[in-house]
Amino acid sequence: MKPAEHLILFDIDGTLVRRAGPHHREALVEGIRRVTGVVTTTENIPVHGMLDGDILTQMMTNAGVTTRQIRRHMPAVMEQAQRAYVRSVPDIRRSTCPGVRRLLANLKRRNVPLVLVTGNLTRIGWKKLERAGLKPYFRFGAFAEMARDRAGLARIAIRTARERRWIQPDARITLIGDAPSDIVAAKANRVRAIAVKTGVSDPLELAALHPDLLLEDLRGLTLKALLG
């Protein structure tokens, strides 16, 4: 297939799906409990826009687990959390954000490569998309355990698309997300940032970071505006 002129990177939570239930948070709690025996919570942790690894670290820190223990246990905790999520997540097709299915279908028909850039752990992210009915649209995902921050994840996604020759050398790249960290990641990689208000972020905080576009939801994103 001829390399594409565009690459679109998508966040998951608050961008593609929202109100998907407590299963993700519960899986993180269960992962920690199974490995360490410690009971934790995500309460009072601003999880929106965070990577799962950072959330797990904060959960264990709040529960009194030492930094050394966290480092030692983290690989097993991540594995157990993913197992717990895969077993528990229900059908969440009704949780997709407005305009998502139509936009993804239109982009796929035009052979535009779609890639995930998400704070979810790998198996959690793919399972969430599978249960939402969105997984077939995406070629690749950069997930929480692959980099230290979201900018690093976007870098991996872009590099992978170039190495696999999915896109032309001068392809126009866009990152679509609902959190300030998505805008920051786009700017760090010098790609276009499109922010949507379908998550829990304060719209004024999003606007203050000056994304290229700030939309109520993806119903307002036309192919002309996206692809030019």
Q: What DSSP line would sit under 101-112, residue for residue?
A: HHHHHHHHHTT-
If we measure between CA atoms, which residue out of 188, 220, 21, 10 comes closest to residue 113? 10
Each residue's pLDDT tens digit, 87-97: 999 999 999 99
If we measure between CA atoms, which residue out of 30, 20, 111, 11 comes closest to residue 76? 30
Q: What percent of the chain has pLDDT over 90?
A: 97
Q: Where in the chain is the domain with CATH 3.40.50.1000?
A: 4-19+95-227
Q: What is the CA radius of gyration of the chain?
A: 17
Q: Is the pLDDT of residue 228 over 90?
A: no
E strand or H helix at 114, and its extent? strand 114-117
Amino acid 140 reads F
User: In this predicted structure, what is the pLDDT of residue 91?
Assistant: 93
Rounded CA separation 4/171 (Å): 7
User: In this predicted structure, what is the pLDDT of residue 87?
Assistant: 95
Q: Where in the chain is the domain with CATH 1.10.150?
A: 23-88
Mean pLDDT, rounded, of the chain: 97
* CATH topology (fold) of 4-19+95-227: Rossmann fold (3.40.50)
DSSP 219: G
With both helix axes pointing from N to C terminus, report the angle between 67-88 and 52-62 in degrees, rounded to the nearest 10: 120
Each residue's pLDDT tens digit, 107-121: 999 999 999 999 999
Q: Residue 21: pLDDT band by 50, 70, 90 thresholds?
A: confident
Taking residues 173-193, what's their average pLDDT?
98
Q: Is 99 left (phi over 0), alpha (psi -120 to 50) or beta?
A: left
Q: Is the pLDDT of residue 1 over 80?
A: no
Q: What percent of the chain has pLDDT over 70?
A: 100
Taking residues 8-20, what's their average pLDDT?
95
Q: Is 116 left (phi over 0), alpha (psi -120 to 50) or beta?
A: beta
Each residue's pLDDT tens digit, 127-158: 999 999 999 999 999 999 999 999 999 999 99
CATH of 23-88, one of 3.60.21, 3.40.1800, 1.10.150, 1.10.287: 1.10.150
Q: Are 171 and 158 in contact (CB under 8 A)?
A: no
pTM: 0.96
Taking residues 193-214, what's their average pLDDT?
97
